[in-house]
């Protein structure tokens, strides 16, 4: 994690270590941490009858300051090529902390908690893991001098890694797919894991849909959740008012969302980059506010409940079917189990996601797909070559929106209940983060991004309080570490002549 | 007439708050060409630091309101600008010269982080505060609608005007302001003539955050309730204001803020309160379609 300016990491270990300067720098950081912490961490507002009261937490501030000081010192030592002291100090401290934590966890002896520096066990874990991380990083520095490499070299190395992953992905893809297909039948896979799998696949699909708009066409869309919402409400309203089934409504949901995409896309086509981002964000919020306030149509904040579940070619997943209807388990002669529906939903979203992927991959090879990518690279050149930017952008918007709508319809049928609460800006941000963190335009990157951002936090649901905090921090850390995404390497779709040697292919514009 | 005047007063007061936040957006956009998406959260942190300082002063026994306000103003400006500085240092500086999308993602990440940080530390519930400045002038006492100009509104307007004067002086007459204007024109050129670009950008974030924290204080005094989520909507509206006024233009940000405040007040007054945010966003879309440079912005020439 090189938060310092690049170039400084190039220091040679033969240079004398300037202890005074290091201490001074660490002291500055500690002072900064103090200023940051004293206000919000040092005082806590408590509700008491008749007003508010302040509770002080100066011990937490002190700990934060010490951590800031030590952390900075360790970073400087690593930067200057002095990993040994870091290993010798951070290693034992981290191990001791983790040991106490494990002891508390296993024995349940709460008396040992007083040996921990923080009031909260979660914070202790975070700090313990961070300290161990420092030690391991330093150990790595001793083992082979990675700190000697400059930022560019590291970037190039990661680029090669990304290219390798993408090459491997061609082989790995079928295996991943096979794993996804047999996942529900694997031993040890319970309902909770399947639910997480379904959720991850939903986001994979949404990510692939948004990838058309952001990754291929280069249009920064911060309001993708609007189309998700349109799809979900289209299905919910059609199903509850007209009694149509999921499979009949699914195309309608997609078409409605595609229309919404064109409708929203039309006025904003002239805008570029950040402006487009903000306007799409505004549209997303507008849709949400309308859903929230148009009681007669959308039932407002109460949402729509009792949305019908999908059936398996007309066979419902119910224990006791209505008159004259055969249920799934009756038809196949199985004992009734609620897991059947969960498995079915899992396969539905898997197939939907795969269709999204297939369509995207095929369409990239069509003139329109090439047009998207060309438009992303240079709009003016496109125009002079006779590509109609308006139609090209609109199709990208409509395609992306359509898959968002499919995802929304699935979301509605999976939960059986929707309300505007589910379609806040944070959803758009999460989907965009999946696309960008994975590496824009990379299909396999979206899968990695979704597993990383949705699967992992879902696994740690017990830490729900800290989940979003860690999520935001992870977004920043990954982006700072890999500004172009984890698997950012991008092969040109078409190339004239021989490919240039990879060393000259430098990314930063 | 009285109703109209009341909405005008309310809208102008609200507009001042938006304008102060919008300056932070427009300055950052002018210099490094990115939307500081987490700026709304800085405003929210400013409001929280303010309420904590007020409570602390209450415990310490500082009851003379002008003195309390002054102390709170200084404390919140200092503590909040530290957050702005850290934001730039951690999330934006390592990505300078990177792709255009990267800082936007870190900005969203920081925004999520700050929201949850405040929620964890200060609780998710709405924090109410006793009104500090009460009373005001009343007009049209004999008609059926009494127009009120509260002391609080006067305080907000005066404070904004004073801050704007100081800020204008800072930009137009000091070495720092000169450096900022140079960086706005050409970052690389400015560094070639010996301007410490990193320091200038850091100062930009500090100034922007200080102004946003004052807006947070005003929001707290005006509405009396805050929670960890206020930064999002206020941030979007302030950004709308910055775009409306012409992004990159400092007087434009204030003008845009006033315009958004007035639109919101009149929309809530004459139409429906529920859709006031829709109105603000619709204005943003319309401005961007018909006059993308805003009211005072320079036309953006696309270079090949």
Closest residue in B to A433 (Cα–Cα): B105
> Which residue is it, tokens 């189990």?
A337
Candidate ranges A71-75, A134-138, A495-499; pick with highest mean pLDDT: A71-75
Tell me: pLDDT of A444 over 90: no
pLDDT at A505: 42
Q: Is residue B251 part of a domain?
A: no
Instruction: Report the residue of chain A nearest B235, measured CA to CA.
Output: A278
Q: Is residue B177 one of the residues assigned to a domain?
A: yes
* Of A194 and A457, the one with more pLDDT: A194
Closest to A338 (Cα-Cα) out of A325, A319, A321:
A319
Choose from A52-61, A82-91, A142-151, B146-155 the range with maximum mean pLDDT.
Answer: B146-155
- Asked if the interface predicted TM-score (ipTM) of this complex is over 0.95, the answer is no
Mean pLDDT of all residues belonging to chain A: 79
**Is B281 close to A52, i.e. CB distance below 8 A?**
no
Q: Does some domain include residue B6?
A: no
Token digits for A354? 């795969």
> What CA–CA distance (Å, rounded) separates A35 from A376?
43
Q: Which residues of B touch A474 (CB under 8 A)?
A: 109
| Strands A43-48 and B225-226, sheet pairing | unpaired
* pLDDT reported for residue A503: 47
Q: Which two tokens stand for residue A41?
A: 């961490």
Whether residue B295 is contained in a domain is answered as: no
pLDDT above 90 (res A12): no
Classify residue B152: in a domain, yes or no.
yes
Least Cα separation, residue B55 to chain A (angstroms): 7
User: Is residue B236 situated within a structural domain?
Assistant: no
Residues of chain B neighbouring A473 (CB-CB closer than 8 A): 109, 113
Answer whether A437 touches B (CB < 8 Å).
yes
Q: Is A436 on the interface with B (CB under 8 A)?
A: yes
**B279-298: pLDDT as tens digits:** 878 887 788 778 777 777 76
Residue-level pLDDT at A496: 65
Residue A61 has pLDDT above 80, yes or no: yes
Q: What is the pLDDT of residue A1?
A: 40
pLDDT tier at A448 (50, 70, 90 boundaries)? confident
- Listing DSSP states for A300-350 in one string gives GGG-EE-PPPP-BTTB---SSPPTT---HHHHTTPPP-THHHHHHHHHHHH
* pTM reported for the whole predicted model: 0.84
Chain A residues whose beta carbon lies within 8 Å of the beta carbon of residue B292: 270-271, 275
- pLDDT at residue number A364: 87
pLDDT (0 to 100) of residue B39: 93
Residues with Cβ < 8 Å from B12, sequence gap 6 or more?
Answer: B157, B258, B261, B262
Could you state, in order of their start, the residue ranges of all structural domains in chain A? 8-149, 166-495
What residues contact A136, with CB distance under 8 A and at least 6 apart? none
B225, B242, B264, B285: best to mutate for the A interface, most A CBs within 10 A: B285
- Tokens representing B136 are 């005001």
pLDDT(B55) > 80: yes
Written as six digits, the tokens of B164 are: 């704007």
More reliable by pLDDT, A224 or B148: A224
Contacts of A346 (CB under 8 A, 6+ apart): A183, A184, A194, A197, A198, A201
Domain count within chain B: 1
Q: Do A47 and B125 touch (CB under 8 A)?
A: yes
pLDDT score of A348 more than 80: yes
Instruction: Please tell me the predicted confidence (pLDDT) of residue B204.
Output: 92
Q: What whole-number percentage of chain B has pLDDT above 70?
A: 97
Q: Using CB atoms, which residue from B55, B232, B288 is nearest to A279?
A: B288
Give CB contacts under 8 A, 24+ apart, made by A337-342.
A338/A191, A339/A191, A339/A194, A341/A309, A341/A317, A342/A191, A342/A194, A342/A195, A342/A198
CA distance A498 to chain B (A): 27
pLDDT tens, position by position, A112-132? 666 666 666 667 777 778 788
Q: What is the DSSP string of A411-433?
A: HHHHHSEE-GGGG-HHHHHHHHH
- Determine, for residues B116 and A472 on separate chains, whether the beta-carbon distance falls below 8 Å: yes
User: Quick count: other Cβ atoms within 10 Å of Cβ A14?
Assistant: 6
pLDDT at A500: 56
Nearest CA in chain B to A5: B94
- Domain span at residue B61? 21-231
Q: Which residue has the higher pLDDT, B254 or A114?
A: B254
Average pLDDT, chain B: 87
Q: Is the pLDDT of residue B137 over 90?
A: no
Selection from A90, A481, A418 nearest residue B94 by Cα: A481
Facing residue for B113 by CB, picked from A283, A472, A509: A472
């Amino acid at each position: 994690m090189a938060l310092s300016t690049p170039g400084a990491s190039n220091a040679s270990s033969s240079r004398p270590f300037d202890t005074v300067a290091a201490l001074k720098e660490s002291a500055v950081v500690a002072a900064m941490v103090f200023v940051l912490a004293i206000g919000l961490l040092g005082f806590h507002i408590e509700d008491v009858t008749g007003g508010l009261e302040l509770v002080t937490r100066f011990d937490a501030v002190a700990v934060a300051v010490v951590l800031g000081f030590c952390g900075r010192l360790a970073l400087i030592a690593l930067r200057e090529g002095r990993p040994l002291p870091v290993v010798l100090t951070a290693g034992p401290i981290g191990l001791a902390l983790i040991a106490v934590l494990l002891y508390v966890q296993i024995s349940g002896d709460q008396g040992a908690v007083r040996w921990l520096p923080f009031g909260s066990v979660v914070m202790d874990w975070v700090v313990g893991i961070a300290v161990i991380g420092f030690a391991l990083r330093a150990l790595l520095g001793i083992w082979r001098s990675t700190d000697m490499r400059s930022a560019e070299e590291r970037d190039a190395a990661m680029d090669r890694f990304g290219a390798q992953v993408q090459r491997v992905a061609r082989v790995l893809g079928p295996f991943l797919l096979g794993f996804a297909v047999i996942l529900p039948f694997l031993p040890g896979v319970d309902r909770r894991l399947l639910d997480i799998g379904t959720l991850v696949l939903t986001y994979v699909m949404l990510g692939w849909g948004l990838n058309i708009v952001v990754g291929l066409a280069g249009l920064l869309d911060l309001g993708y959740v609007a189309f998700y919402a349109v799809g979900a409400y289209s299905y919910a309203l059609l199903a509850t008012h007209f009694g149509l089934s999921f499979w009949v409504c699914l195309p309608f949901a997609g078409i409605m969302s595609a229309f919404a995409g064109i409708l929203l896309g039309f006025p904003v086509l002239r805008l570029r980059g950040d402006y487009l981002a903000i306007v799409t964000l505004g549209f997303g919020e507008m849709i949400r506010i309308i859903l929230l306030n148009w009681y007669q149509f959308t039932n407002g904040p109460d949402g729509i409940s009792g949305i019908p579940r999908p059936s398996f070619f007309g066979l419902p997943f119910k224990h006791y079917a209505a008159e004259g209807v055969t249920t799934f388990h009756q038809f196949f002669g199985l004992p009734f189990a609620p897991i059947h529906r969960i498995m079915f939903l899992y396969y539905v979203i898997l197939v939907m996601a795969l269709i999204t992927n297939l369509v995207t991959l095929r369409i990239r090879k069509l003139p329109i797909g090439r047009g998207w990518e060309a438009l992303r690279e240079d709009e003016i050149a496109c125009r002079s070559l006779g590509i109609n930017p308006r139609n090209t952008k609109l199709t990208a918007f409509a395609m992306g929106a359509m898959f968002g709508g499919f995802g929304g319809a699935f979301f509605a049928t999976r939960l059986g209940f929707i309300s505007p609460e589910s379609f806040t800006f944070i959803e758009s941000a999460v989907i965009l983060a999946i696309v960008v963190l994975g590496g824009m335009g990379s299909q396999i990157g979206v899968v990695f991004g979704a597993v990383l951002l949705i699967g992992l936090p879902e696994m740690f649901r017990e830490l729900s309080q800290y989940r979003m905090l860690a999520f935001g921090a992870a977004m920043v850390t990954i982006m700072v570490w890999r500004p172009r995404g984890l698997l950012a390497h991008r092969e040109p779709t078409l190339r004239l002549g021989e490919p240039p040697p990879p060393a000259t292919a430098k990314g930063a514009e | 007439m009285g109703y109209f005047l009341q909405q005008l007063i309310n809208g102008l007061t609200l507009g001042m708050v938006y304008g102060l936040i919008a300056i932070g957006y427009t300055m950052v956009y002018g210099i490094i060409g990115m939307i500081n998406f987490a700026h709304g959260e800085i405003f929210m942190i400013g409001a929280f630091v303010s309420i904590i300082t007020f409570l602390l002063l209450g415990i310490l026994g500082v009851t003379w309101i002008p003195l309390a306000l002054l102390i709170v103003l200084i404390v919140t400006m200092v503590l909040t600008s530290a957050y702005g500085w850290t934001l730039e240092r951690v999330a934006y500086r390592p990505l300078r010269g990177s792709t255009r999308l990267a800082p936007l993602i870190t900005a969203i990440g920081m925004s999520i982080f700050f929201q949850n940080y405040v929620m964890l530390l200060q609780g998710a519930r709405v924090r109410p505060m006793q009104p500090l400045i009460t009373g005001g002038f009343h007009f049209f006492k004999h008609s059926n609608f009494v127009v009120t100009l509260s002391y609080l509104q006067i305080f907000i307007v005066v404070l904004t005007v004073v801050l704007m004067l100081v800020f204008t002086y800072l930009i137009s007459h000091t070495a720092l302001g000169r450096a900022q204007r140079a960086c706005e024109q050409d970052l690389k050129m400015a560094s070639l003539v010996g301007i410490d670009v990193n320091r200038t950008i850091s100062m930009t974030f500090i100034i922007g955050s200080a102004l946003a924290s004052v807006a947070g204080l005003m929001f707290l005094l005006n509405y009396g309730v805050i929670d960890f989520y206020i930064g999002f909507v206020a941030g979007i509206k302030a950004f709308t204001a910055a775009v409306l006024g012409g992004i990159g233009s400092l007087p434009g940000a204030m003008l845009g803020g006033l315009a958004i405040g007035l639109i919101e007040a009149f929309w809530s007054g004459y139409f429906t309160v529920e859709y006031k945010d829709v109105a603000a966003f619709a204005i943003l879309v319309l401005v961007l379609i018909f006059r993308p440079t805003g009211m005072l912005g320079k036309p953006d020439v696309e270079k090949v």
